[in-house]
Chain A
Amino acid sequence: MSAAGILHGRVDARRFENNAATRESPWVRRAILGVALAFFVLFLVLPLVAVFAEALRKGWGTYVHALTDADALAAIRLTLLVAAVSVPLNLVFGVAAAWSIAKFEFRGKHFLTTLIDLPFSVSPVIAGLIFVLLFGAHGWFGAWLIAHDIKIIFAVPGIVLATVFITVPFIARELIPLMEAQGREEEEAATVLGANGFQTFWRVTLPNIKWGLLYGVILCNARAMGEFGAVSVVSGHIRGMTNTMPLHVEILYNEYNFAAAFAVASLLALLALVTLCLKSFIEWKASQAAKDTE
Chain B
Amino acid sequence: MSIQVQEINKQFGSFTALNNVSLDFPTGELVALLGPSGCGKTTLLRVIAGLETADSGRVILEGEDASDTHVRERQVGFVFQHYALFRHMSVFENVAFGLRVKPRKERPNEAEINKRVHRLLELVQLDWLADRYPAQLSGGQRQRIALARALAVEPRVLLLDEPFGALDAKVRKELRRWLRRLHDELHVTSIFVTHDQEEALEVADRVVLMNKGRVEQVGTPQEVYEHPATPFVYGFLGAVNLFHGRVEGEHVKVGEATLPHDGRDADHGVEVVGFARPHELDIVTDLAETRGVEAVVSRVLAFGASARIELDALEGAAERGEPVHYEVVLTRERVAELALSEGQHVRLVPSSLRVFPREAA
Contact assessment for B86 and A194 in the assembled complex, using a CB-CB cutoff below 8 Å: no
Tell me which of B72-80, B109-117, B169-177 binds A.
B72-80
Interface residues of B in 71-125 (CB under 8 A from A): 71-72, 76-78, 80, 82, 84-89, 97-98, 100-102
Contact assessment for B78 and A189 in the assembled complex, using a CB-CB cutoff below 8 Å: yes
Interface residues of A in 170-210 (CB under 8 A from B): 185-186, 188-196, 199, 203-204, 207-208
> Bound complex: CA of A140 vs CA of B185, how far in Å?
73
Contact assessment for A186 and B87 in the assembled complex, using a CB-CB cutoff below 8 Å: yes
| A293 interface hit (Cβ, 8 Å) | yes
Contact assessment for B84 and A191 in the assembled complex, using a CB-CB cutoff below 8 Å: no
* A288 → chain B closest CB, angstroms: 12
* A26 → chain B closest CB, angstroms: 40
Interface residues of B in 38-85 (CB under 8 A from A): 49, 51, 71-72, 76-78, 80, 82, 84-85
| A292 interface hit (Cβ, 8 Å) | yes
Highest count of chain A CB atoms <10 Å: which of B84, B98, B133: B84
| A149 interface hit (Cβ, 8 Å) | no
> Bound complex: CA of A207 vs CA of B88, how far in Å?
7
| A294 interface hit (Cβ, 8 Å) | yes
Q: Is the interface of A mostly helix, strand, loop or mixed?
A: helix
* A204 → chain B closest CB, angstroms: 6
Contact assessment for B86 and A186 in the assembled complex, using a CB-CB cutoff below 8 Å: yes
> In the complex, which of the residues B77, B82, B102, B133 contacts A192, with contact meaning CB atoms closer than 8 Å?
B77
Asked if A188 meets B51 with Cβ closer than 8 Å, knowing A195-B97, A292-B135, the reply is yes
Chain A count of residues within 8 A CB distance of the other chain:
20
* B88 → chain A closest CB, angstroms: 4
Which residue of the partner chain B has the closest CB to A193?
A: B98
Asked if A194 meets B84 with Cβ closer than 8 Å, knowing A293-B133, A293-B134, the reply is no
> In the complex, which of the residues A192, A193, A194, A203 contacts B51, with contact meaning CB atoms closer than 8 Å?
A192
* A193 → chain B closest CB, angstroms: 4
Which residues on the A side are within 8 Å of B89 (C-beta)? 207
Contact assessment for A208 and B84 in the assembled complex, using a CB-CB cutoff below 8 Å: no
> Bound complex: CA of A190 vs CA of B153, how far in Å?
12
Which residues on the A side are within 8 Å of B133 (C-beta)? 292-293
> In the complex, which of the residues A189, A195, A292 contacts B80, with contact meaning CB atoms closer than 8 Å?
A189
Contact assessment for B97 and A190 in the assembled complex, using a CB-CB cutoff below 8 Å: yes
| B149 interface hit (Cβ, 8 Å) | yes
Asked if A195 meets B78 with Cβ closer than 8 Å, knowing A186-B84, A293-B88, the reply is no
* B159 → chain A closest CB, angstroms: 9
> Bound complex: CA of A185 vs CA of B84, how far in Å?
6
> In the complex, which of the residues B72, B84, B135 contacts A189, with contact meaning CB atoms closer than 8 Å?
B84
* A176 → chain B closest CB, angstroms: 19
> Bound complex: CA of A292 vs CA of B85, how far in Å?
13
Which residue of the partner chain B has the closest CB to A197?
A: B72
The residues of A with any CB-CB pair to B shorter than 8 Å are 185-186, 188-196, 199, 203-204, 207-208, 289, 292-294
29 contacts between A and B (CB under 8 A): A185-B80, A185-B84, A186-B84, A186-B85, A188-B51, A188-B80, A189-B78, A189-B85, A189-B149, A190-B97, A190-B101, A191-B51, A192-B72, A192-B77, A192-B150, A193-B101, A193-B150, A193-B153, A195-B97, A196-B72, A203-B86, A204-B86, A207-B88, A208-B88, A292-B133, A292-B135, A293-B87, A293-B134, A293-B135
**Nearest 3 A/B pairs, CB to CB:** A185-B84, A193-B98, A293-B87
